[in-house]
Chain A
Amino acid sequence: MQDIEIADLRRLTEVIKEQYDYDFSNYAMSSFKRRIQRILELYKIHTIDMLIKKIREDKSFFGDFITEITVNVTEMFRDPSFWRELREHVIPNILLNHQTISIWHAGCSSGEEVFSMNIMLKEMGIMDKAKIIATDIDKVILEKAKAGQYPIKNMELNEKNYIRFQGKTTLSDYYKEVNGKAMLDKSLLQNVSFREHDLVNGNIFNKFDLVLCRNVMIYFNQTLQNVVLKKLHESLFKYGYLIIGSKESLIWCEIANKFIVVNNEEKFYKKIKD
């Protein structure tokens, strides 16, 4: 297949912005280009012009487009050492000064991280102290998160991560196998509210003690990372924690001086200035 050129991507993002008010113009070019390539192959669309035409004319297709453009590959307890650090230091630290704890999963995808969080909190005996909001740009993936059903083949990796996290029991205590799917225990979502939210264009809607935004901003360029980081900063209480992916960094962002690094290996940052 013909390689996509940058001018093509620009034309596409302009049409989307104009018609649907989603702005992909500052997404990281390399991955955005691969996602577009993937959509062209998936829907057997041969040129960018045909894709633009379809997006213009078919509103329901645009919903599918959003689903396909976002990357929804995730694991339960991804980076087990990170989860151990969260359990052993960060959460106890927040609870030193707070009766309750408010958590935002920004870009929650299919919800594996939300379930991981509540499994951890439940094992710590403090799930009732936590209020969780989980957001994503993609409606369809939010429904998947709410359903809490994952292909059983994924559970092998999830279980391995859980063992390395040194959880109290076994992961299979939290799900039932039904028709080749792992159905997660729904009571693990009783303190969670899911909502549609676009980090790029969306408003600041609340303040939190803990914001997790792991491996989300890697799909943005630096300009957009700066914009989003300002929003995450504003959404944190002073002395709240921001957590990003293990290979992301705040070093070159404009508001780096408003955070201190609590743990560089696992990427815990603490907001120290408003």
Chain B
Amino acid sequence: MGRFNLSNQYKAIVIGGSAGSFQGIVKILSGLPENFELPIIMCLHRLKHVRNGFVEALSIKSIKPVVEPYDKENIKMGKVYLAPANYHMSCELGNSFSLSTEDMINNSRPSIDVTLESAAYVYKNKLIGILLSGANRDGAMGMKRIKDRGGLTLIQDPAECMMDTMPTAAAKLTEIDYSLKIDEIIEFLREVNKVSKG
């Protein structure tokens, strides 16, 4: 049995991050086992009008290429997805993505709340939500929805965050199951992978 005593119920992982999260994300993506099975769905705050470059930068050290999905693209096992610039990214029932150009939420498009809330709706108690460093409150409501629907909530240890506003805001709004450093998040995800493969 691993440190986190996890069950094999999980079907997807969502990650939100903003200011100060880039290094952590890169570390996580490079530290995962290559056979990592669950889809990883990321929403990171990014420049609205720069379409190219970010996904490439994230892919360099990642164990697998990071993909910016097209509207209505299916969510597949073993893939790593990133919300594209200037679109909100949602999960749909039937496991596909929808993109949208709705108003900015929390001054952001893509908004982490949008991705997390829609994922909570689709995956319910089969979802793990991870919120990393950030300087605003986007993602807090999304984490609450994940918790309300029975999912697991994890934040980056505020003491390790370059900007701790975002994980702290989530912890104020809802129950957080784990507060971990990036290295521990990697250990956690390795255990998730082991357990989900049986």
In the complex, identify which listed stretch (A40-48, A205-213, A215-223) lies at the interface while the others stay far away. A215-223
Known: A247-B84, A247-B87. A31 touches B102 (CB 8 A): yes
- Write out the residue numbers on chain A whose beta carbons fall within 8 Å of the beta carbon of B98: 28-31, 218
* Chain B residues, CB < 8 A from A225: 72
A74 touches B101 (CB 8 A): yes
A180 to B73, CA, bound (A): 41
B49 part of interface (Cβ distance < 8 Å): yes
Interface centre among B70, B90, B91, B96 (most CB of A within 10 A): B70
Q: Which residues of B have CB within 8 Å of A57? A: none
- Could you tell me the distance between the alpha carbons of A71 and B109 in the complex, rounded to whole angstroms? 14
A14 within 8 A of B: no
Q: Is B93 an interface residue (CB 8 A)?
A: yes
Task: Choose one: B51, B88, B91, B121; the contact of A246 (CB below 8 Å).
Answer: B51
Q: Measured between alpha carbons, how far is A29 from B102 in the docked complex, in Å?
A: 14
Most A CB contacts (10 A, CB to CB) among B71, B88, B118 go to B71
- Across the interface, do A249 and B71 meet the contact criterion of CB distance under 8 Å? yes
- Nearest-Cβ distance from residue A167 to partner chain B, whole angstroms: 16
Tell whether A34 pairs with B114 under 8 Å between CB atoms, given A71-B102, A74-B101, A79-B51. yes
A248 at interface by CB-CB < 8 Å = yes
**Interface extent on A, as a size class?**
20 to 34
User: How far does the Cβ of B84 sit from chain A's closest Cβ, in whole Å?
Assistant: 5
Number of A-B contacts (CB under 8 A): 71
Give every chain A residue within 8 A of B71 (Cβ-Cβ).
217-218, 245, 247-249
**Other-chain contact of A247, B70, B102, B118, B121 (Cβ < 8 Å):** B70
Most chain B CB neighbours (cut-off 10 Å) among A217, A221, A247: A247
Does A3 belong to the interface (CB within 8 Å)? Answer: yes
The answer, yes or no, to whether A73 is at the interface (CB within 8 Å) is yes
Whether A249 contacts B102 in the complex (CB less than 8 A), given A29-B93, A160-B49, comes out as no
A96 within 8 Å of B by Cβ?
Answer: no
Report Cα–Cα, A74/B103, bound state, in Å.
9
* Contact bitstring A30-60, B, C-beta under 8 A = 1, else 0: 1101110000000000000000000000000
Contact residues, A184-220 vs B (CB, 8 A): 215, 217-219
- Flag if B93 contacts A73 (CB, 8 Å): no
Does B99 reach chain A (CB closer than 8 Å)? Answer: yes
A29 and B92 alpha carbons, distance in the complex (Å)? 7
Which of A6, A79, A246 gathers most chain B CB within 10 Å? A246
Q: Evaluate whether A252 and B72 lie within 8 angstroms (CB atoms) in the complex, with A30-B90, A31-B90, A160-B49 already known.
A: yes
- B-side residues, CB < 8 A to A, are 49, 51, 68-73, 84, 87-88, 90-93, 96, 98-103, 114, 118, 121, 145, 148
Interchain Cβ contacts under 8 Å between A and B, 12 examples = A30-B100, A31-B88, A31-B90, A31-B102, A33-B121, A71-B102, A73-B101, A161-B49, A164-B49, A218-B98, A218-B101, A225-B72
Seed contacts A6-B93, A222-B96; 15 additional CB < 8 Å A-B pairs: A3-B121, A3-B145, A28-B92, A28-B98, A28-B100, A30-B90, A30-B100, A31-B100, A35-B102, A73-B103, A74-B101, A218-B101, A246-B51, A247-B69, A249-B71
